[in-house]
Amino acid sequence: MMKLLKYEFRKTAFPKLLIFALVLIMECIFLYGCLTDQDDTKTLGVILFTMAVMFGFLLVGILSLVTLHKDMNTRQGYMLFMTPNSTYKILGAKVAECSLTLLVLGAVGLGLGALDFSIVEKEVQFLTSILKNFNPDLLPTFPNISATLFYILCSLLCSVITAYFVDVISSALLNGKKGNLLITFVLYLLLSYVTHAIQGLITLIPAIGTVTSFLLQGVVALVLAGIMYVITVRLMDRYLSV
Amino acid sequence: MLESRELTKKFGAKTAVDNVSLAMEPGHIYAMLGPNGSGKTTWMKMAAGLVKPTSGEVFFNGNPVGIESRKDVAYMSTEPYFYDWMTIESAGKYYNDFFEDFSMETYLRMLSDMDLNEKDKIRTLSSGMVAKMKIALTLARDAKVYMLDEPFNGIDLLARDEIRAAILKAATPEKLLLLSSHLVEEMEAIADRAVFIRKGVLIEVRDLEEMREVDGVSMADRYRSIFGHGEVQA
């Protein structure tokens, strides 16, 4: 599994390094604004940094999906499916690679975000006092941010595995069939809607706090991802030809 | 050792392999022969576990091919299948990571014999160099079965000689070698058994020596008689 993981990282190492470099460049813009005391640069830095992290999350998911798609639909898949590894391990390495990259990106985002916030804490005190009166759940405290990040990461992972599942259906069952792309796209939208609806059921629990709600929704996303992972592996074992 | 039972593969309306039952034993070099589109590659890919049959099954040592058989069956595809970032050396390391029977030492020695530089990126190699590298990579495994799909495709005479020598060196009484090629004369110098397949249907499996002695024909003659006129002659 570790060897598979190593090569999964290697396949998309360059674009991932670019993502991290982009996040660091945006952070540097913010720090430059702090050092030169330019409010506009600081604001721009924060906005760009947040966008880079969010864009990075999305890109990591897309990269993971593109790699799986290439492994199933091009000759390079032989490199993977010729090896004496079970499909659970092969797909598991892909899920682990995507999860770890998301986690590291999340940790970098959270760490640098916390650093940035501590630098400008006094300047944004007015904002935090407004939030405190309006909705304390929106305060940028560690539990709030951690729970939100956990929710985002789990939901994103669930979306990635949903995409894996749909891509496997497309490659193994609908390959070469008329309307494959349309069916795949509609199926993805439908499954995404269903998974989000199931996650949303958590919010119906009475008197549940925002932090608890986010944590539980994250756990539900992980369970759904696990179920889809097992179904995906079975579909690959039964129908996938590379 | 390697056996397909009523193996069929359909791609939509087209039947690539049609109900092929075939058993191959160690200690022989089999030449799988047939024109383009006769189902040779599809049969091999099913035996390698890369393509799922529509019906029937392939067995290795009595068990359906799968994770376990991949440890002992070395398959070389005719198309290049390496990752873009790979060098000749990193492809060897990859095999070394996943196949217990792979010998990096043998691989490097074969590369040297074939005059290949392990630092070269695979995507920059000529088709002949890739063909030699694939052979080295596959034969550096101490596998029980080697399946080489079109090992002489698109390469010059000297490279062919090197590949032929490497193949013959790998042939031992415990091993089974299966090669497919359009170059019938080339195969005649290597193989001792021939599998004739046409339009997905198995025509016959022949011992070449017996065929020469009994029928008085060479493999190339038999190929012509089977595929040359559209009619299979007895």
- Statement to judge: residues A89 and A177 lie in one domain: no
Instruction: Give the nearest chain A residue to B42 (CA atoms).
Output: A241
Contact (CB, 8 A) for B174 and B27: yes
- Note whether A10 contacts B49, CB cutoff 8 Å: no
Cβ count near A105 (within 10 Å): 22
Task: Give the nearest chain A residue to B47 (CA atoms).
Answer: A82
Q: Are B8 and B15 contacting, i.e. CB atoms less than 8 angstroms apart?
A: yes
CATH number 3.40.640.10 given to B2-227: no
> pLDDT by residue (tens digit) across B65-118?
999 999 999 999 988 899 989 999 999 999 999 999 999 999 999 898 888 999
Q: Which residues of B touch A78 (CB under 8 A)?
A: 50, 75, 77, 81
Burial class of residue B196 in the structure, from the number of CB atoms within 10 Å of its CB (0-12 exposed, 13-18 middle, 19+ buried): buried
Q: What is the pLDDT of residues A189-199, one digit of tens each?
A: 999 999 999 99
> How close, in Å, is residue B221 to chain A by CA atoms?
35
- What does the DSSP assignment read for A16-81? HHHHHHHHHHHHHHHHHHHHTT-HHHHHHHHHHHHHHHHHHHHHHHHHHHHHHHHHHHSTTHHHHH
B52 touches chain A (CB under 8 A): yes
- The answer to whether B192 touches B208, Cβ cutoff 8 Å, is yes
Q: Is residue A129 part of a domain?
A: no
Cβ–Cβ < 8 Å for A57, A87: no
Q: Are strands B55-60 and B2-11 parallel, antiparallel or unpaired?
A: antiparallel
Report helix, strand or coil for B114: coil
Beta bridge partners of B206: B194
CB A160 within 8 A of CB A64: yes
Residue A128 is assigned to a structural domain of this protein: no
In a domain, A58, yes or no: yes
Last residue of one domain, picked from the residues A62, A88, A123: A123
Q: Which chain A residue shows the shortest CA-CA distance from B70?
A: A84
B68 touches chain A (CB under 8 A): yes
Task: Give the position of tokens 């006092």.
Answer: A129
Q: Please tell me the predicted confidence (pLDDT) of residue A29.
A: 92
Residue B233 has pLDDT above 60, yes or no: no
Task: Assign B229 a pLDDT band (cuts: 50, 70, 90).
Answer: low
- B-chain residues near A3 (CB < 8 A): 97-98
Q: Write down the mean pLDDT value for chain B.
A: 90
Q: Specify which of A43-47, A122-126, B226-230 reaches the highest per-range mean pLDDT.
A: A43-47
Handedness of CA B196, B200, B201, B202 (dihedral sign): positive
Residue B87: the pLDDT is 95
- Asked if pLDDT for residue A170 goes beyond 60, the answer is yes
Residue B234 pLDDT > 60, yes or no?
no
Which residues have CB under 8 Å from A219's CB, separation 6+? A154
pLDDT in the model for residue A241: 86
Q: What is the tens place of the pLDDT at every residue in A77-99? A: 999 999 999 999 999 999 999 98
For residue A242, list chain B residues with Cβ-Cβ distance below 8 A.
50-51
Measured CA to CA, the distance from residue A127 to residue A43 in angstroms comes to 14
Q: Interface pTM (ipTM) of the complex?
A: 0.84
Please report, to the nearest 10 degrees, the dihedral formed by the alpha carbons of residues B47, B53, B56, B62 taken in order. 30
| A142/B102: higher pLDDT | B102
**Does pLDDT of B129 surpass 70?**
yes
Nearest chain B residue to A238 by CA distance is B52
B67 touching A (Cβ < 8 Å): yes
* 3-state SS, residue B3: strand
Residue A91 falls inside a structural domain: yes
- Is A132 a domain residue? no
**Given this model, what pLDDT does residue A138 score?**
67
pLDDT digits (tens, 9 = 90+) for A18-34: 999 999 999 999 999 88
Percent pLDDT > 90 in chain A is: 49
Are A76 and B77 an interchain contact pair (Cβ–Cβ within 8 Å)? no
Q: How far is CA A87 from CA A171, A194, A196, A228, A239, in A?
A: 15, 26, 27, 14, 12
Residue from A82, A90, A91, A237 whose CB has the most chain B CBs within 10 Å, to mutate: A82
Q: How far is A80 from chain B (nearest CA, A)?
A: 10
| Best mutation target, A72, A73, A83, A234, to test chain B (most B CBs within 10 A) | A83
Q: Do B71 and A75 touch (CB under 8 A)?
A: no
A219 CB burial (10 A radius; 0-12, 13-18, 19+): middle
Of the residues A123, A158, A190, the one at which a domain ends: A123
Listed by start position, the domains of chain B span 2-227
CB-defined contacts A:B, below 8 A: 56
Note the pLDDT tens digit of each residue in B35-54: 888 999 999 999 999 999 99
Select the residue of B12, B71, B94 nearest A79 (Cβ to Cβ): B94
State pTM to two decimals: 0.85
Looking at A123-132, A155-164, B7-16, which range is the least confident one? A123-132
Residue A134 is assigned to a structural domain of this protein: no
CA distance B232 to chain A (A): 32
Lowest-pLDDT choice from A112-116, A117-121, B127-131: A117-121
Partners of residue A88 in chain B, C-beta under 8 Å: none
Q: What domain range is A221 assigned to? A: 139-242
Domain count, chain A: 2
> Mean pLDDT for chain A?
88
Question: In chain B, what residues touch A239 (CB-CB under 8 Å)?
Answer: 52
**Between A96 and A1, the higher pLDDT residue:** A96
Q: How far apart are CA A91 and CA A233, in angstroms?
A: 7
pLDDT surpasses 50 at A156: yes
Q: Which amino acid is at A97?
A: E
The C-alpha atoms of residue B99 and residue A3 are separated, in whole angstroms, by: 11
* pLDDT interval class at A203 (50, 70, 90): confident
Mark B104-135 as b/e (b = at least 16 C-beta within 10 Å).
eebbbebbeebebebeeebeebeebbbbbbbb
Res A207 pLDDT > 90: no
Same domain, A119 and A1: yes
Identify the bridge partners of residue B179 per DSSP, sorted by sequence position: B31, B148
